[in-house]
Amino acid sequence: MSYLDLPIRAIHEALVAKKTTPVELAKEAIARAKADKENAFETIEEEKALAFAASLGEPEADNLLWGIPYLAKDNFSTKGIETTASSNILNGYVPLFDATVITKLKERKAVLIGKTTLDELAMGGTGTTGHKGITYNPFDPKHERLIGGSSCGSAAAVASSIVPFALGSDTGDSVRKPASYAGLVGMKPTWGRISRYGLFPFAPSLDHVAYFTRNVDDSAIVLEALSGRDEHDSTSSTKPVENYESHVKDGIKGKRIAIIKDINDSITNADLMRSFNASVDALRKEGAIVEDVLFGEKMLQSLYPTYMVISCAEATSNNANLDGIKFGPYYDGKSYAEAMYNARTKGFSELIKRRFIIGSYCLMRENKEELFLAAQRNRAKIVERLNEILKDYDFVYVPAAPSVAPLIHQLSDKLSAEYLIADNHLCLGNFAGLPSITVPLCLQNGLPIGVNLMGRAFEESDLFAAAEVIEEITGLANLSVLNRKEGNL
Amino acid sequence: MKTITIDVLKDAANRLLFDLTEAEYQTLYEEFGILTAQMKAIGETGDLSKYEPMTFPFDCETSFLREDEPVKPLSREEALSNASNKLNGQIKLPKVVL
């Protein structure tokens, strides 16, 4: 056990008491990063991290992130640090500015240790499509199982206790799903709560900054540091930032929780549902009112295709600037168009090209009304239904995934209810922009599965309080591969 | 809706300025079979005509005006620092007029 295995507040207390120093913590995080066996890293910034840690001076008792090491997914701009989004088309690209979240963490004197792998350009949910190859799940040392994506490296690193928190991004479920597979707390706050300036855009109407921690209290601490209006991002909210940590122990008495019955009905994993139902009983004992609600099966079955149409269409347009001219490797041609053609043909992987073509097809004049606009209208209908439920209930509570991390080459029936609903419902939170948090529920054969809570817009404090109760029920706070906790629910 | 053929997919790829291998086009063509079946679900959720296309989760309060304060722009060196092909302080491209 080292300080890196502890919650942020405990590390902070050790730093303030001078039992350890930012340099010691950074050195240990770097040593652990170098020993990483999961292929979680794009870069380890040893020199910069140690220099920054050494510059921090005296401990700041009122700053919980002072000297705390962290990692960022490699789709956040970091000045002077190569940032590729795990895509060959951005090899060698060194941003000239920091993303706002990187600036905020620098101001709080958190220490950036390195950048983590992702599914190429954050488009994918497996952690297998980045230009450095597959990122593995640390809970499966045989390297047969997915960690999930797209924020695969950040998930693997936090689960391996390399750092106590790591930044990710979440357009459909890219933090909250890997959090389920890696036994972590994965938080995607309200759309607009955290500035996206400097986050490489995938589908801006759905993109969120999100992050991993190993417990709910840490998640509340990190959200307060990241949140707030940013003049560089006109979609960032002007709503005041709360002291989220002060609400973590508020409890759940009298709160109303909706279980989406048609999501649960699509899950075939009986052990998972036994654990889930046990957690529901425990929530009732804590004073919550928990009731089944029907969302509408047809609408739930339309979630995944609606997500695919909207996200691929937005991505097609947002990535038009990746052409090998202004940045990225240049490939010559007879004309500038041919030079771009060569760069994009060589720079994008097959999966990315397929997604762009799907997006382009949905935007073709002949298809736009029937596909793209229909998907956008359907999104409005889905969001209306979700907000209807949240008029009567404080939270929606469901399993975050239908199983433990799948085997890497496992095939699934992509027309089944389990795939379309149970495996892909977390995009509800992106459609509606609502805060949504995954916390560990149980372990099956040593592999974690999480549950997800979603609340009303900008009511993150309530969400943390409810998530904390679940964490107390499961006893799975601070789960990591070094700190497995069997025999829970 | 436009019928999906390998040629339609190739046309879309070329308009997006990239190419795939023949095997990759075939994979994509097969993927479209599944996607099309999935997309049918969008039309089965009921009447969508009363809904406006949703482009953002919700309206957010923002300001489109900022103080007119001078800011330092990128230097030429900075602006060119990530371009791989440059000459005499400019990005070099193939001739447009031959």
Q: Do A330 and B34 touch (CB under 8 A)?
A: no
Phi, psi of A227 (to 5 degrees): -80, 165
Q: Do A96 and B2 touch (CB under 8 A)?
A: no
B65 CB within 8 Å of a chain A CB: no
pLDDT at A489 over 60: no
Q: Distance (Å, rounded) from C-alpha A342 to C-alpha A304?
A: 32
Distance from CA of B36 to the nearest CA of A (A): 9
Q: Roughly what angle, to the nearest 10 degrees, separates helices A350-363 and B22-39?
A: 50
Q: Distance (Å, rounded) from C-alpha A483 to C-alpha B3?
A: 54
Distance from CA of A3 to the nearest CA of B (A): 39
Q: Do B48 and A350 touch (CB under 8 A)?
A: no
Active site residue A174: yes
pLDDT at A486 over 70: no
Q: Distance (Å, rounded) from C-alpha A449 to C-alpha A431?
A: 23
pLDDT of res. A485: 62
Phi, psi of A375 (to 5 degrees): -65, -40
User: What is the tens place of the pLDDT at every residue in A72-118?
Assistant: 999 999 999 999 999 999 999 999 999 999 999 999 999 999 999 99
- Provide the residue ranges of all domains of chain B, joining segments of one domain with +: 1-44
Q: A483: which DSSP letter?
A: B
- What string of H, E and C letters represents the secondary structure of A71-125? EEECCECCCCCCCCCCCHHHCCCCCCCCCHHHHHHHHCCCEEEEEECCCHHHCCC
pLDDT of res. A488: 54
B24 CB within 8 Å of a chain A CB: yes
Active site residue A73: yes
Answer yes or no: are the C-beta atoms of A312 and A356 closer than 8 Å: yes
Q: What is the mean pLDDT of chain B?
A: 91
Tokens of A51: 């220099």
Model confidence, pTM: 0.97
| Position A415 confidence tier, pLDDT thresholds 50, 70, 90 | confident
The single residue listed with the structure tokens 């050494």 is A54
The count of other CB atoms within 10 Å of the CB of residue A318 is 17
Q: Distance (Å, rounded) from C-alpha A431 to C-alpha A207?
A: 10
| Complete domains list, chain A, with CATH | 1-489 (3.90.1300.10)
Q: Distance (Å, rounded) from C-alpha A139 to C-alpha A443?
A: 10
| Position B47 confidence tier, pLDDT thresholds 50, 70, 90 | very high
The single residue listed with the structure tokens 């994509």 is B28
Of A316, A326, A383, the CB nearest to B54: A383
Distance from CA of B88 to the nearest CA of A (A): 15
Of A77, A87, A150, A160, which is the active-site residue? A150
| Position A449 confidence tier, pLDDT thresholds 50, 70, 90 | very high
Residues of A in contact with B53 (CB under 8 A): 373, 376-377, 380
Distance from CA of A340 to the nearest CA of B (A): 7
Active site residue A55: no
Q: Do A238 and B78 touch (CB under 8 A)?
A: no
Q: Write the Ramachandran bin of A198: left for phi over 0, alpha for psi from -120 to 50, otherwise beta.
A: left
Strand A185-188 to strand A436-444: parallel, antiparallel, or no bridges (unpaired)? antiparallel
Q: What is the mean pLDDT of chain A?
A: 96
Answer yes or no: are the C-beta atoms of A97 and A222 closer than 8 Å: no
Cis peptide leading into residue A150 (ω within 30°): yes
User: What is the tens place of the pLDDT at every residue in A336-358?
Assistant: 999 999 999 999 999 999 999 99
Q: Distance (Å, rounded) from C-alpha A462 to C-alpha A239?
A: 16
